[in-house]
Amino acid sequence: MTSMLALELRGLTKTFGGLQVTHDVHLGLASGARHALIGPNGAGKSTLVGLVSGAIEPDSGQVLSFGHDLTRLSLQDRVKMGLVRSFQITSLFPKLTVLENVQLAVNENTGVADQLWIGMKDLVEQRERCLEVLAELQIVEQQDVPVENLSYGKQRLVEIAIVLALKPRVLLLDEPAAGIPSTETDLLLTALHKLPSETAILMIEHDMKLVREFCTEVTVLVSGKVLASGQSEDVMNSQTVRDVYLGRSGHERFKGVQEHV
Amino acid sequence: MDQITPAATFILLYGVSYGIVLFVISIGLVLTLGLMRVVNLAHGVFAVLGGYLAFNLPSLLGISFIASALISMVLVLLVSLVLERVFFRRLFGMTELEQVLATIGFCFAFIALLTFAFGPNVLATKYPEWMSGNFSLLGRQFPLYRVFVMACGLVILLALWLLFDHTNFGATLRACVDNQSMAKATGINVNWYFSVAFAIGAGLAAIGGIVGAGMLPLEPLYPFKHLPLFLTIVALSGFGNIKASLVVSLVVGLVDTAGRYFVPEYGAFTVFTLLVILVLWRPQGLLAGWK
Amino acid sequence: MKLEKTGFLSDRVGMIWWLTALAAYFIFPDYRGFGASVLVMTLFALSFGLALGFAGIISLGHAMYFGVGAYVAGRLALAGWQEPISGVLIAGFVTGVMAIGIGFVILRLNGLPLLMVTMALSVIVFEAANKATGITGGDDGLVGISFKPVLGIFNWTLDGHLQYLYALAWLALVFFIARRVISSPYGLSMAGIRENPLRMRLLGAPVLRRLVVMYSLCAAFAGIAGAILTQNTAFVGLQVLSLETSVDVLVMVVLGGTFSLYGALLGAPVYLIVKYVTQQWNPFYWMLVIGVLLMGVTFFFKGGISGWLTRIFQMDRTE
């Protein structure tokens, strides 16, 4: 158990109005983790993501990354610390091209975004980095297309590209497969495998196939509380989890997928 | 001590009457914003149109001032219904900038037409005898006109209160403002309510323009000239919040009057300074309700 | 809304514009004075178009900076500092700094509240200038201003000779700078902020700071335009600070289209020429024309003149 966890949540609690949405959540991710966060709708997963990314302030508890307390930091500052999130509903820059979308991320990451001027050499370098990322996701051909003209599946890829370009140390993937038909998730999966192995990834998903194929650890969130957490196998096979969340068919789908592998 | 009471009375009388006029004119704007989410920078045209009609009809038709005022209000109401169908309705889906531009354009065009019809100068308005003249209070003379305005204001307030709080129509209207999609879902013909609310707003603006002509002189440039004022009231009131706009209007009226009374040099910009201060102090206050 | 990415519009239409502007100097010698004022307003419109179209800042108070720039240049001259080029730069500096302070406060807002506050501020400044007759000359304005020759050689004359070329030169310079800024990484991040401010934050961008820098730059450009006006006309009046001026420039930019930097360059001359011509007939006639134009642009000609030109030359980018 490393003392410096890539992401650590300690006792996060949040109440909205009279409703306690997050109850004393504890969670730890080491570098390179592939951790899924699952749970029924309304379990508070989105709120949790908001708390971690900095969009929402917790009533109590802490968010830490590599020993640094991020709880009081703004959205921007957390990104600077290497904590990045992607969106469930694609949130890109509609009228800008694919290349420009990624360029924005690269510029922020390399620190040139503030410059009112850029030299030729730097310009070429930046472009190279962008094209690298695009190539990883096989969307180089569409580089000059405004993203609003792309198919939804391709837009999701751009979403991943942006996140990749930021070279995150901790990555929050909010339902990356949302809106993509299960037949097309393979392309997404390939893209996800391209993410650096040292990055700690926390993925919220409903698609069990994706969870099985990508994640080694799982946390189950129900009504804002952690029901179970640990290695995928153990959690998915646990009786309590099956009863409360998966139900028979869910579990079978999980086991069924496993058998095919 | 002797100085304070007359001063206070003056400020109260003038400030409240001014505030009431502003309120009556601005209701339409507040409603349109709340219901239709449309920024109507041309709202002042209803006020000034009402005024021009009311003060010209007596000589044209030989009727009394009151009759003329009522007829003018109805005329403006009808005109507004037409305009709403033909023009304002189309602003619904547009961006804020586009709405600003379209309504400013309308405003300009309207001002030009007014100038053709009535000439560019301020209209000399004369209120009937029983409204003019002064009365004495606490050793000073105050115009009856101002009292008349307050009286009108009270009547209108009463009517509005009855309408909004004690009729089905009012309740439904409020529902539309609070939660449009919900209202639609329950089968309410929201568009019809929009039109009616728009017309009411226009009619009230007309009354405001007529009654307030002694404070806000009638001239073609009226809708543009007083735009900052109307917008200030709306911005501070928030979406469709009529009660807030009453408070805001009264505050603006009082602050402006007090400002001009105590610091005549700088009277003109007390209101805007107030706006800026409020924004600095509570930017969320203005933002809440906007995007 | 993208600026300057349709290369076609930039290059071809752009060249035509600059050549026309230069040619007009020779072809219409009697209108040089008028032309100079058109160029000044074009520069002002450019400064506003940058803020509006590029940064997405809706302001009804940009005349504030224009006017302050004008008065700064005027007062400098009256105080004995009559070197024109440095005068313009100082004016631009003053307005730029002014905008930093103001920007940090108001740019947290957007939409109607922002519009309101910019309008309110500009009215306040106008009224203040109106009262401060010691500094501004009030209704009468500042007179008795004169300037040293530009670069020591070119003399100021009454026929608009120098004024036209001087304004044109400054316009070209500012245009060039604006182009550079737009194609820089900073410019790209501004486009990002305009398209999706929340996402920009999630990329780690300090959104408010970037907006303030842009706003300040636009204010500086506006101040420069104002200063040039003062130098051209040897006079400053309250009109430069008025709400009408802010609305004028808004109309110019919208007319020309916020689609491209050339929008301002197209919208301003068209607006001013139309205004000039129709005002000859009847002072209020032009309000009708402008009113109709505005409504027309909003309903039918989205993107203004430059948008229309782009469509004509079919430079819409598709797959």
Mean pLDDT of A52-79: 87
Residues A191 and A217 in one domain: yes
Query: How many contacts does B have with C, using Cβ atoms within 8 A?
Result: 120
* Angstrom distance (rounded) from CA A92 to CA A76: 17
pLDDT tens digits along A81-131? 889 888 878 888 888 888 889 989 988 888 888 887 777 777 788 888 888
Contact (CB, 8 A) for A180 and A123: no
Instruction: Kindly state the DSSP code that residue A245 receives in the 8-state scheme.
Output: I
Contact (CB, 8 A) for B108 and C250: no
Which chains have at least 3 CB atom pairs separated by less than 8 Å from chain B? C
pLDDT at B82 exceeding the cut of 60: yes
User: Can you give the residue ranges of every domain in chain C?
Assistant: 7-312
- List the one residue out of C154, C5, C10 whose CA is nearest residue C83: C154
A87 within a domain of the structure (yes/no): no
* Angstrom distance (rounded) from CA C259 to CA A11: 50
- Does A have 3 or more CB contacts under 8 Å with C? yes
Q: Which single residue is written with the structure tokens 């400064």?
A: C47
- List the one residue out of B155, B176, B184 whose CA is nearest residue B70: B155
A106 within a domain of the structure (yes/no): yes
- Does B have 3 or more CB contacts under 8 Å with C? yes
- pLDDT-derived band at B208, boundaries 50, 70, 90: very high
Mean pLDDT of B13-41: 85
Which candidate from A76, A117, A142 shows the least CB-CB separation from C204? A76
Edge to edge, what strands does the sheet with A7-16 contain? A19-29, A7-16, A60-65, A68-69
Strand residues in chain B grouped as ranges (E) = 134-137, 140-143
Give pLDDT, residue A246. Answer: 63
Residues A78 and A192 in one domain: yes
- pLDDT-derived band at C4, boundaries 50, 70, 90: very low
Residues A158 and A139 in one domain: yes
Which candidate from B90, B101, B235 shows the least CB-CB separation from C112? B235
Q: Burial of C91 by CB count in 10 Å (0-12 exposed, 13-18 middle, 19+ buried)?
A: buried
pLDDT at C41 exceeding the cut of 90: yes
Instruction: Kindly state the DSSP code that residue C55 receives in the 8-state scheme.
Output: T
Mean pLDDT of A33-45: 84
Of A165, A196, A223, the residue at which a domain comes to its end is A165
Residues A37 and A65 in one domain: yes
Instruction: Kindly state the DSSP code that residue C241 receives in the 8-state scheme.
Output: G
Give pLDDT, residue A253. Answer: 58
Of A132, A165, A198, the residue at which a domain comes to its end is A165
* Angstrom distance (rounded) from CA C1 to CA C315: 14
- pLDDT-derived band at C167, boundaries 50, 70, 90: very high
Q: Which single residue is written with the structure tokens 């209020």?
A: C284
- List the one residue out of C249, C282, C284, C276 whose CA is nearest residue C263: C249
Give pLDDT, residue B133. Answer: 77
Residues A31 and A67 in one domain: yes
* Angstrom distance (rounded) from CA B95 to CA C50: 19
Give pLDDT, residue A3. Answer: 60
Residues A98 and A71 in one domain: no
- pLDDT-derived band at A250, boundaries 50, 70, 90: low
Contact flag C186-A144 (C-beta cutoff 8 Å): no
B96 interaction partners in chain C (CB closer than 8 Å):
58, 111-112, 115
Of A122, A145, A165, the residue at which a domain comes to its end is A165
Give pLDDT, residue B3. Answer: 64
Which residues neighbour C167 within 8 Å (Cβ) at sequence distance 6 or greater?
C36, C39, C40, C43, C228, C232
DSSP string computed for B176-196: HHH-HHHHHHTT--HHHHHHH
- List the one residue out of C180, C213, C221 whose CA is nearest residue C94: C221
A12 within a domain of the structure (yes/no): yes
Residues A30 and A4 in one domain: yes
Range in B242-246, C157-161, C169-173 with the lowest mean pLDDT: C157-161
Mean pLDDT of C166-177: 92
* Angstrom distance (rounded) from CA C211 to CA C204: 14
DSSP, collapsed to helix, strand or coil, labels residue C150 as strand
Residues A16 and A47 in one domain: yes
pLDDT at B272 exceeding the cut of 90: no
Range of the structural domain that residue A65 is part of: 1-82+168-261
User: Can you give the residue ranges of every domain in chain B?
Assistant: 19-134+141-221
- List the one residue out of A206, A211, A212, A208 whose CA is nearest residue A261: A212
Q: Is residue C243 within 8 angstroms of chain B, CB to CB? A: yes
pLDDT at C208 exceeding the cut of 50: yes
Mean pLDDT of chain A: 82
Mean pLDDT of B258-282: 74
Mean pLDDT of C159-170: 86
* Angstrom distance (rounded) from CA B241 to CA B94: 22
Contact flag C202-A92 (C-beta cutoff 8 Å): no
Give pLDDT, residue A259. Answer: 42
Q: Is residue A108 within 8 angstroms of chain C, CB to CB? A: yes
pLDDT at C188 exceeding the cut of 70: yes
Find, in chain C, the residue whose alpha carbon is nearest to that of A104: C189
Contact (CB, 8 A) for A222 and A207: no
DSSP, collapsed to helix, strand or coil, labels residue A38 as strand
pLDDT at C64 exceeding the cut of 90: yes
C284 interaction partners in chain B (CB closer than 8 Å):
111-112, 115-116, 120, 220
pLDDT at B139 exceeding the cut of 80: no
Mutate to test the interface with C, among B92, B100, B118, B270 (most CBs of C within 10 A): B100
Give pLDDT, residue B110. Answer: 93
ipTM summary value: 0.79
User: Quick one: what percent of chain B has pLDDT higher than 90?
Assistant: 18
User: Domains in chain A: how many in total?
Assistant: 2
- List the one residue out of C222, C168, C171 whose CA is nearest residue C44: C222
Give pLDDT, residue A255. Answer: 58
Give pLDDT, residue C8. Answer: 45
Give pLDDT, residue C17. Answer: 87
Question: CATH number for the domain including A3?
Answer: 3.40.50.300
Mean pLDDT of A164-178: 86
pLDDT at C38 exceeding the cut of 90: yes
Mutate to test the interface with B, among C116, C131, C198 (most CBs of B within 10 A): C116
Range with top average pLDDT, A3-7, A81-85, A175-179, B130-134: A81-85
pLDDT at C314 exceeding the cut of 70: no
Mean pLDDT of B172-190: 75
Range in B107-116, C63-72, C261-270, C309-318 with the lowest mean pLDDT: C309-318
Go through C230-269 and write b for each residue having 16 or more CB atoms within 10 A of its CB, e for each that does not: bbbbbebbbebbbbebbbbbbbbbbbbbbbbbbbbbbbbb
Tell me the whole-structure pTM to 2 decimals.
0.83
Choice between A261 and A162, residue whose per-residue pLDDT is larger: A162
Give pLDDT, residue C224. Answer: 96
Mean pLDDT of B160-173: 82
C287 interaction partners in chain B (CB closer than 8 Å):
108-109, 111-112, 115
